Structure 1
Amino acid sequence: VIATPGFHREWWEAYVTVNQRFADRTAAVAEEGAVVWVQDYQLQLVPAMLRKQRPDLRIGYFLHIPFPPTELFQQLPWRDQILEGLLGADLVGFQVSGGAQNFLRLVRARLRQETHRDEIRTSEGRTVLARSYPIAIDAKELHELAASESVAARAAEVRHDLGDPEVLFLGVDRLDYTKGLLARLEAFGELIEDGTLDVEKVAFVQVATPSRERVEEYRQLRDDMDRLVGRINGDIGRIGRPPITYLHASYPRQEMAALYRAADVMVVTPLRDGMNLVAKEYVACRQADDGALVLSEFAGAARELRQAYLVNPYDVNGMKDKLIEAMRDTPRNKARRMKVMRRQVAEHDINHWASAFLDDLRKTGPKA
């Protein structure tokens, strides 16, 4: 558990109300036998609510975040209502197979529904499928953007503005306590403090997009990040050469492509993540099969990008080792790893993801 769960009855009542509004409106406008695709945790009750009003529809649901293990999900006061809500769908999609398996186990244990492999046979006689569909990016569009002259020029400008470091590390995340930001920067700072890295030769750019700043845990994380970056830069920085450039802002797609292209080592180390598209975006932007990706074992992307330098984000010493390994690996090994990952990202793009889900959904439902 990364943050202590909080359960608020009045929030649940509002959640039910919002889900009912989405279901009511969809029921009113959907054509006979239409395909409806419900997205993410904000609308987990919609499938059952919609099914009750419109049994003719084919309803799909996709969860973008990790589906929790049984022992954690069991803490929810509204656990059965959420499971029943999801069972209103014909197809329930998850980022990784582990999420689908967690869901199947809970349906058996909590609702006493019969399951066989990826199928659930409900007490009403319906068949619900639970499968994994790793989400993807528009790899072709991003690769072409990164290949443009303007992005190439901006990437060179970024490196120049940072003092032309020999090695540029990059992190790009929402400012979120699940992203492992503090441990990542601590590891980098310690590598400079112990002399493994030379502050005159390396730099770390951390982009932290503002997120949910009215929530106390997020405000606390921002304060912690400000203190940590200030301490590291103050203790070991040089005039004009801060070890860490911390950017708490959002940037347009072209600027992000330039950062991806400029970086030698991409550091993606969430404590838990349903997928993490930043890792895939970095891979798509590499123009010459160069660069290195340090990736958390607990990101869904690690199941697909197996050639990344995989790391346990809770192990700061292990992270230090992986940062050095990724930096010092031979160009040949880096190219071999990146080539395989680029092929994976290109072949399993966002169109492949959507088509795979919708093709399966169209085979289900009342008219299948």
Structure 2
Amino acid sequence: MNAPLESSETSTAGNAAEYDFVVVSNRLPVDHVVDDDGATSWKASPGGLVTALEPIMRSNDGAWVGWAGRPDLDIAPFDNDGIHIVPVPLSAEDVENYYEGFSNDTLWPLYHDVIAPPTYHREWWESYVAVNQRFADAAAAVSAEGAVVWVQDYQLQLVPKMLRDKRPDLTIGFFNHIPFPPYGIYSQLPWRAAIIEGLLGADVIGFQRVADASNFARAVRRLTTSTTKTTTIEVASPGRATRRVIAKAFPISIDSRSFEELARQPHIQARAREIREGLGNPKTIMLGVDRLDYTKGIGHRLKAYGELLADGRIKVEDVTLVQVASPSRERVQAYMDLRDEIELTVGRINGDFATMSHTAISYHHHGYPREEMAALYLAADIMLVTALRDGMNLVAKEYVAARFDDDGVLILSEFAGASDELKRALRINPHDIDGLKEIILQAISMPKRERAARMRSLRKRVLEYDVSRWSTAFLSALAGVRGDRDTAESIDLIDDDPLGDLEWTVERVPRGTEL
């Protein structure tokens, strides 16, 4: 399951091949790599989604439809390490309009509570429609009769209906990895009804939080003639029988066991000690790990830390902040502006408070491999997750999984989906800078016994509800739709505890139902 897809042997396959399980996502599970000498190869993309679905793909004769990550790259389908890869080509114009434009400068800010203002352009929407149709056509072409197709994320919200119209025999799932906004925000989108109708083409629609599923249901009631009851939606289509759609929360997770196993490696623990020594062995290391995105609240945590230093409540010799901010969407203006703002703030704080032997903020504008991240998590006494809005935030779960020593403190924004599950974290409102400062001080002074008790509770949750359980729960719901629609539709999906939600789903799907 966890073996990487190295630069592997590939074999081309014709479009006539049909597969029983098809995943459709904006990006493929492998990256197209060009070496310095011009040689090309394929390498596994990191990420929990790939880890969760690899074994299912292999055991269910699976195909994966997605973009190879580079414009104007037209590659025939091929087999890679037991998975059939179906590349969908995007032109430079597609990338600019569909991906950087509509997906990331219209939908992303809108779905994240308009932290940054979304931009609406009709040509971006037209490109989004055209590219979604291209993905739907590619998926339909490789899907066997009655296949299960699982569509991933906000870039492809029109694909379920396009697939339904073209291939009504398919069982279709959709999972939204980012938040779904309240109707008062969502209603600003000029193409709001078309996207709701696109999503309703699926049989099961998954969200990160119960609140997201509720927001979606309200949009359905306001924008369509469909009716909703708890987590079922009755979709009436002209000339067709009424369909029932499930819309519920399936909180995603990580491959927590493999992260713990990595953290237990002696060389990772040695690297964690090296990191502390390189930072001057401060009493407390705080860590932030984020994509450089305006939704992550990086500026808020910098402000709180800077004020604590200025107030004299902490000393730079005692408390260091390490901020990893991996590059993100660097051609989008809002992200260019954010990088300038963050780097100016880091420079100002370091200029004001750093000494010859201690830096206030160790700032890194690049990503790190899993091994280095595991070492960072072990080195950090406090993990700061200050997201202003986040579908889940898997960094919080990675930190918990890595802390096999039952130490460390997680400070977690209540606006991250992970806060629904990780209830023993120190939860904060990142907009409340004074409150954030107090929580940081509480974390710094927390007794070891309390740290251990909190971390044990967090680890129990993260280790039990891992990414395999997430994918099993979703696919079980789809299997229920396929094998026993009455059972699948009767699942009670609105629950105060999203983890109980998962348990209920798995129990109610008939045993023996196969994908």
TM-score bracket, shorter-length normalisation: over 0.9
Q: Which residue of 1 aligns with 2:193?
A: 80
Q: 2:453 aligns with which of 321, 336, 344?
A: 336
Equivalent-residue separation in structure 1 for 2:133 and 2:221 (angstroms): 26
Q: Secondary structure at the match of 1:25?
A: helix
Equivalent-residue separation in structure 1 for 2:443 and 2:483 (angstroms): 51
Q: Select between 328-337 and 290-299 the one with higher mean Cα deviation.
A: 328-337
- Report the alpha carbon displacement of residue 116 of structure 1 after superposing the two structures with TM: 1.0
Identity of aligned residues (%): 56
**1:116 correspondence with 2:223:** no
Q: List runs of 5+ in structure 1 lacking aligned partners.
A: none
Decide whether the 8 Å contact of 1:90 with 1:365 is kept in 2: no
Decide whether the 8 Å contact of 1:57 with 1:366 is kept in 2: no
**1:19 correspondence with 2:132:** yes
Deviations 1:58-100 (Å, cap 9, x if unpaired)? 0000000000000000000000000000000000000000010
Equivalent-residue separation in structure 2 for 1:241 and 1:112 (angstroms): 62
- Report the alpha carbon displacement of residue 112 of structure 1 after superposing the two structures with TM: 2.1
RMSD over aligned CA atoms reads 0.9
Could you list the runs of 4 or more consecutive aligned residues of structure 1 that deviate by over 2 angstroms after TM superposition? 365-368
User: What residue identity is the alignment partner of 2:139?
Assistant: T
User: What residue identity is the alignment partner of 1:79?
Assistant: R
Q: Which residue of 2 aligns with 1:152?
A: 269
Deviations 1:308-353 (Å, cap 9, x if unpaired)? 0000011111110111111111111111111010000000000000
Equivalent-residue separation in structure 1 for 2:311 and 2:259 (angstroms): 38
- Report the alpha carbon displacement of residue 9 of structure 1 after superposing the two structures with TM: 0.6
The aligned runs of 1:13-92 (5 Å cut-off) are 13-92=126-205
Q: 1:249 aligns with which of 360, 366, 369?
A: 366
- Report the alpha carbon displacement of residue 242 of structure 1 after superposing the two structures with TM: 1.0
Q: 1:132 aligns with which of 246, 249, 254?
A: 249
Equivalent-residue separation in structure 1 for 2:398 and 2:279 (angstroms): 22
TM-score by length of 2: 0.71
The aligned runs of 1:345-364 (5 Å cut-off) are 345-364=462-481
Paired residues, what number?
A: 368
Decide whether the 8 Å contact of 1:57 with 1:365 is kept in 2: no
User: What residue identity is the alignment partner of 2:165?
Assistant: K
Greater relative contact order (Cα 8 A, min sep 6): structure 1 or 2? 1
Equivalent-residue separation in structure 2 for 1:2 and 1:162 (angstroms): 33
User: What residue identity is the alignment partner of 1:278?
Assistant: V
Equivalent-residue separation in structure 2 for 1:66 and 1:199 (angstroms): 36
Q: Which residue of 2 aligns with 1:101?
A: 214
Q: Secondary structure at the match of 2:169?
A: coil
Q: 1:231 aligns with which of 348, 354, 370?
A: 348
Equivalent-residue separation in structure 1 for 2:435 and 2:462 (angstroms): 27
- Report the alpha carbon displacement of residue 193 of structure 1 after superposing the two structures with TM: 1.3
Q: 2:428 aligns with which of 311, 321, 340?
A: 311
Q: List runs of 5+ in structure 2 lacking aligned partners.
A: 1-113, 486-515
User: What residue identity is the alignment partner of 1:334?
Assistant: R
Equivalent-residue separation in structure 2 for 1:208 and 1:88 (angstroms): 37
Q: Secondary structure at the match of 1:298?
A: coil
- Report the alpha carbon displacement of residue 360 of structure 1 after superposing the two structures with TM: 0.4
Deviations 1:292-320 (Å, cap 9, x if unpaired)? 00000100000000100000011111110
Q: Secondary structure at the match of 2:295?
A: coil
Q: Secondary structure at the match of 1:239?
A: coil
Equivalent-residue separation in structure 2 for 1:50 and 1:366 (angstroms): 20
